[in-house]
Amino acid sequence: MPEGMSAAEFADYLTRSVGRAGTALDRDRPLGEQLDVDSSRLMELSIALELELGMDLPDDVDLRALSPAALYRDYRADSRAGD
């Protein structure tokens, strides 16, 4: 599991995970406004966040509505909780 990613590395992870590597993300805008991907790609991202990064996402999470900054805060909180 990648540990201690910076916010920039995390944003890069998000874009690579949905097949949009190199896409610049505004940290405060919802992913749905920034990434033109279908719902199956976002479902794959959700699974990757849980399995690869150890995040604990709600079953009804809507990644389109979350910003990279909000997801990064959750990632950091979940990684600290595992210590």
Segment 1-27, tens digit of pLDDT: 456 899 999 999 999 999 999 999 999
Whole-angstrom Cα distance, residue 11 to residue 7?
6
CATH code, residues 7-81: 1.10.1200
User: 21: which residues sit within 8 A by CB, 6+ positions away?
Assistant: 12, 15
Segment 34-60, tens digit of pLDDT: 999 999 999 999 999 999 999 999 999
Domain residue spans in the chain? 7-81
b/e map of 51-64 (b: 16 or more CB within 10 Å)? Answer: eebebebeeebebe
Quickly list DSSP for 22-42. T----TTS-HHHH----HHHH
